[in-house]
Structure 1
Amino acid sequence: MGESTTTAVDGNQLIAKALARFGVDRMFGVVGIPVTSLANRAVSLGVRFIAFHNEQSAGYAASAYGYLTGRPGVLLTVSGPGCVHGLAGLSNAMANAWPMVMISGSCDQKDFGRGDFQELDQIAAVEPFSKFSAKAKSIKEIPDCVFQALAKAGWGRPGGCYLDFPSDVLHQTISEAEAESLLATAAEKFGESEKVLCVQNSQIEEAVSLLRHAERPLIVFGKGAAFARAENELGKLVERTGIPFLPTPMGKGLLPDTHELAATAARSLAIGKCDVALVINLGIKDDPFCLGKSHPWVAAISSKVKDNVSKMEAQLAKEVVPFNFLTPMKIIRDAIAGLGSPAPILVSEGANTMDVGRSVLVQTEPRTRLDAGTWGTMGVGLGYCIAGAVASPDRLVVAVEGDSGFGFSAMEVETLVRYQLPVVVIVFNNGGVYGGDRRSPDEISGPYKDDPAPTSFVPSAGYHTLIEAFGGKGYLVGTPEELKSALSESFSAQKPAVINVIIDPYAGAESGRLQHKN
């Protein structure tokens, strides 16, 4: 008789099994010692792994994926510096209240404190940036750790969680039967899909009373309501109450920007004069109440919106060459409108570029705008693009980026080409941070006065050639006709492309809202 054998499961495979059992189907990261096998095991179980060039961009992708899908985005990093680089994404998830789990390998437990390879107390390092963290000290702890982190990432106020797996634990083994038993137990303990925060009825009644007696009420909502998929309830609330609404930038599209009660174009009036604001952070339940009266307030908002839109359209009607920010932004707006539904996911970052884009670019569908968000994070662009393309493969992704924002993660255009993702990156190239050398004469002195200004980049840099190095399509544009042609061709192809839009380096100005902070 032959001797019976039992299949052994190591720590890498058990983590992969736990991720797949919980429903994880995408993972972002950078592989290397000691987590390469973990990535390969996950792929073999049906988890698509998107490999990046650095953990920062991969972390931004994981955080945005959590927002777009409502399920935790997962980031995989190596130990030590890989974990530290990944903190950018983890902290971004916490600041924006998006569900995410960062998984890092770590050094052998027996060698900790001896200067082992990439040694770091990673649990201590992530503590300020995570709502929950756990370190598996043996293979048998893996299922509980994985299920608990994934569940807690989405419970209550969503956010980032962290898992630490020492290299010795990754190489420990147990039998397949024991692995299945541990997975089943963990699933039973932590398999609930959500635990939400509850609000007392008395608090709701108080809020309703305030709104009923308000003369100038306003509904404000943002990405929390978008994450909660609250667009239908919001629509009912606005229609039945007749209250004007103001979306935050990433709340744009929950209700169309073109809605008659949208106060986006009268933001200063709406915020400055409202007497009661209903701020919707996550979602709405129960039937909306009806105020049963019309408001002069609505007429005032509507009048201001029409006036401001008219002024903006007059500015947009002027074709300015060399480009200012408005002329190419209008061309992009019109090209996107021509795509119809499903609308593309729009990614935007930069100073002037993002600020102007918020005013000009129109959102008509929910969760189709990603920008610097709550933390004002720069460098999110390419990571967000990749998350958008992976989360919504039926949509084109269009990034409108300043050259400074693009530079944070520009190498990830190779990732776009490698996975053939339908992403068109439009770079507003004005030669630097805010553009041009804007120093006053008294700031140009000293032994290094002949150096470029701290805000300056190489003028008219060939960003479009970067993607061409990897087989993508690049466009250099400086006129309306060239931009229209590049947008038409790239939008139709739905393949990786970079459009390098040359902007007058002295057009626009530093964001007025932020100028006093610099």
Structure 2
Amino acid sequence: MWRCSGALGVYSPVLHPSGCGIHIWHRRHPSNRNRHCCPAARHQVHWNEERASGLLCCLCDWISDRQGQGFTMLPRLVLNSWTQPLSVLGLQMSATTPSLMFSFKRFWAEHCIQNFLSKARSLPCCFWPRSHPCLGWYGKCKHELLVEACRLYTKFSARPSSIEAIPFVIEKAVRTSIYGRPGACYVDIPADFVNLQVNVNSLKYTECCMSPPISMAETSAVRMAASVIRNAKQPLLIIGKGAAYAHAEENIKKLVEQYKLPFLPTPMGKGVVPDNHPNCVGAARSRALQFADVIVLFGARLNWILHFGLPPRYQPDVKFIQVDICAEELGNNVKPTVTLLGDISAVSKQLLEELDKTSWEYPPESKWWKTLREKMKSNEAASKELASKKSLPMNYYTVFYHVQEQLPRDCFVVSEGANTMDIGRTVLQNYLPRHRLDAGTFGTMGVGLGFAIAAAMVAKDRHPGQRVICVEGDSAFGFSGMEVETICRYNLPIILLVVNNNGIYQGFDMDAWKETLKFQDPTAVVPPMCLLPNSHYEQIMTAFGGKGYFVETPEELQKSLRQSLADTSKPSLINIMIEPQATRKAQMESSFVTRLECSGMIWARYNLSLLGSNDSPASAS
């Protein structure tokens, strides 16, 4: 199995007895178009949980031009091994990264799963696409339970019928994962195949598939799109992660600079054109979206991150030009004026050639540019004012301002959390494509440390000395914090920044926490969004041999970050205490924000009613 997957040019893993192991074959310096068939150097990583290995697979192609491959023994524990691979496969499909997930199943594990499903059938829900009655076992399962479950989350899901069929199934999985819109594939290997003996001469290995074909948009559609762009009064380009995956940075940057067009990157589209480019209007994001009359989407989906392309965030008559490799994505939520189906790098080059036919550029001194620059200036001034505040504890902007000052330009930035991720993406800049990794479309918490390890493994082999900075909220860190042991075990010089506000969005300081506990048991009065104040997360790092810092002032933050960047011999964790009630600067009004604020007020009133109820110790006395 390892032989046929290696021959097909994928990251080749090996099973670990705990079910948490992965071998990766890292491809050195691949060319852009033949990056799926190159010589390799192999590394090995063993994880504390199954999901983290899947996260590495998810990021392999994103940061190293190679699709990843992961193995797990499903399951050690039913809940742990059943739910986590499915969540990872969903994340991989959402992130549109080509990756393969394999599993070896044991009879006792499948029996436990079937037991669970027999109970689930009594619930008012539709869990399976078809029923799977399994009553007599005798050593192996008669039905492909995991194959059917994973089919919902993958481009291809299969179980080889024999050892001889494995090379052909894997070849199809590899080909399917990289052709068209990239995504995850799942191959289920029966456990009895591991010890089964066959004549080696009966095995036939398949050759590596051809590189993915490059599709181009229809000439008439390109001509129409160019005409719409030329006639736009208030144009805007939105650069999504699809553009980053397609390696379209050269063509899109030329499009931005040659025609003086404003652009806005999505979170993982940051760096396709550098964030410090004068045409980047990220600091005026809401204004740009709300008043643009023509928007060109380069590999960006009109999902919740872009407010579904609907009013009031957009003009009712805004014209969308949608560039995507996936036909099914065209027209989702909003009917586009023009659709350009094809490889984003190739299509953007077609647009350049069409626009070059006439002498045209968008006026850099237009009223639209003036409006955007004024809004950018005012927003940047507001952020700078927040960052310059000397009061303690620090706020988010103060922290990120000092972090941004010291970050290397070529570092990988991994980020997850609530306000930590949302505010961080506006302050921490990216200058290179595919160097920002975050929770993505699903907002999946727990991805941070797995992503950071993936980036560090690739950087270690391809660009020694390149740093990985993992910016975590305190709650997000709790989802996968024990992977700190994995980081220390492999001595990966990752710098973890835990922005600690004692909660999710907001928490309590120590005085408020102690005051709250005077009234009732914590389970009755502590809001679910609050965490234990002043938790020393840095001690987790020091417990495993890394360096830990507990900082409360800008000077301590600057010093600890400077020391961490200078030391490439071991990982570091900087636990940064900030104001528990710190939040982002004032945002554009919307009904959704209003509903969130109302929910917070309802919860606060609920707590106040508890504190004043007859059940409280104060009232009882």
TM-score, normalised to structure 1, is 0.86
Is 1:152 equivalent to 2:176 in the alignment? yes
**1:84 alignment partner in structure 2:** 83
**2:385 alignment partner in structure 1:** 314
1:41 positional shift: 11
Matches within 5 A, 1:250-329: 250-281=268-299, 282-283=344-345, 284-286=348-350, 288=352, 289-290=355-356, 291-294=360-363, 295-329=366-400
Taking a change above 3 Å as real, the CA distance of residues 197 and 161 of structure 1, as seen in their structure-2 partners, is: farther
Q: Deviations over 1:185-218 (max 9, x none)?
A: x21xx61121355432222222112111111111
Aligned length: 487
**1:161 alignment partner in structure 2:** 185
Tell me the amino acid that sits aligned with residue 485 of structure 1. Answer: K
**1:347 alignment partner in structure 2:** 414
Matches within 5 A, 1:303-452: 303-336=374-407, 339-340=408-409, 343-393=410-460, 394=463, 395-437=466-508, 450-452=524-526
- Given that residues 387 and 399 in structure 2 are in contact (C-alpha distance below 8 angstroms), is that contact kept between their aligned partners in structure 1? no
- Given that residues 423 and 497 in structure 1 are in contact (C-alpha distance below 8 angstroms), is that contact kept between their aligned partners in structure 2? yes
Q: For 1:277 and 1:267, locate their aligned partners in 2 and report how far apart those are by CA, in whole Å.
A: 13
Tell me the amino acid that sits aligned with residue 422 of structure 1. Answer: P
Q: Deviations over 1:411-432 (max 9, x none)?
A: 0011111111121000011112
**2:543 alignment partner in structure 1:** 469
- Given that residues 30 and 51 in structure 1 are in contact (C-alpha distance below 8 angstroms), is that contact kept between their aligned partners in structure 2? no
**1:503 alignment partner in structure 2:** 578
**1:171 alignment partner in structure 2:** 195
- Given that residues 107 and 167 in structure 1 are in contact (C-alpha distance below 8 angstroms), is that contact kept between their aligned partners in structure 2? yes
Is 1:20 equivalent to 2:6 in the alignment? yes
Taking a change above 3 Å as real, the CA distance of residues 304 and 118 of structure 1, as seen in their structure-2 partners, is: farther
**1:32 alignment partner in structure 2:** 17
Unpaired stretches in structure 1, ≥5 consecutive residues: 1-14
Matches within 5 A, 1:44-63: 47-63=42-58
Q: Secondary structure at the match of 2:440?
A: coil
Taking a change above 3 Å as real, the CA distance of residues 202 and 345 of structure 1, as seen in their structure-2 partners, is: same
Q: For 2:147 and 2:447, locate their aligned partners in 1 and report how far apart those are by CA, in whole Å.
A: 25
Q: For 1:64 and 1:40, locate their aligned partners in 2 and report how far apart those are by CA, in whole Å.
A: 15
1:310 positional shift: 2.6
Q: For 2:567 and 2:476, locate their aligned partners in 1 and report how far apart those are by CA, in whole Å.
A: 25
**2:212 alignment partner in structure 1:** 194
Taking a change above 3 Å as real, the CA distance of residues 449 and 17 of structure 1, as seen in their structure-2 partners, is: closer
Percent identity, aligned pairs only, is 34
Taking a change above 3 Å as real, the CA distance of residues 445 and 157 of structure 1, as seen in their structure-2 partners, is: farther
**1:106 alignment partner in structure 2:** 105
Q: For 1:396 and 1:33, locate their aligned partners in 2 and report how far apart those are by CA, in whole Å.
A: 30
- Given that residues 348 and 399 in structure 1 are in contact (C-alpha distance below 8 angstroms), is that contact kept between their aligned partners in structure 2? yes
1:23 positional shift: 1.7
Tell me the amino acid that sits aligned with residue 124 of structure 1. Answer: E
**1:97 alignment partner in structure 2:** 96
- Given that residues 231 and 366 in structure 1 are in contact (C-alpha distance below 8 angstroms), is that contact kept between their aligned partners in structure 2? yes
1:64 to 59, 68, 86: 59
Taking a change above 3 Å as real, the CA distance of residues 480 and 40 of structure 1, as seen in their structure-2 partners, is: closer
Taking a change above 3 Å as real, the CA distance of residues 173 and 429 of structure 1, as seen in their structure-2 partners, is: same
**1:248 alignment partner in structure 2:** 266
1:306 positional shift: 2.5
1:63 positional shift: 0.8
Taking a change above 3 Å as real, the CA distance of residues 355 and 72 of structure 1, as seen in their structure-2 partners, is: same
Q: For 1:166 and 1:198, locate their aligned partners in 2 and report how far apart those are by CA, in whole Å.
A: 41
1:83 positional shift: 4.8
Q: For 1:133 and 1:75, locate their aligned partners in 2 and report how far apart those are by CA, in whole Å.
A: 14
Q: For 1:47 and 1:172, locate their aligned partners in 2 and report how far apart those are by CA, in whole Å.
A: 26
1:107 positional shift: 3.5
Taking a change above 3 Å as real, the CA distance of residues 129 and 118 of structure 1, as seen in their structure-2 partners, is: farther
Q: For 1:483 and 1:48, locate their aligned partners in 2 and report how far apart those are by CA, in whole Å.
A: 34
Q: For 1:166 and 1:237, locate their aligned partners in 2 and report how far apart those are by CA, in whole Å.
A: 51
Q: For 1:324 and 1:420, locate their aligned partners in 2 and report how far apart those are by CA, in whole Å.
A: 31
Q: For 2:585 and 2:361, locate their aligned partners in 1 and report how far apart those are by CA, in whole Å.
A: 44
Taking a change above 3 Å as real, the CA distance of residues 327 and 293 of structure 1, as seen in their structure-2 partners, is: closer
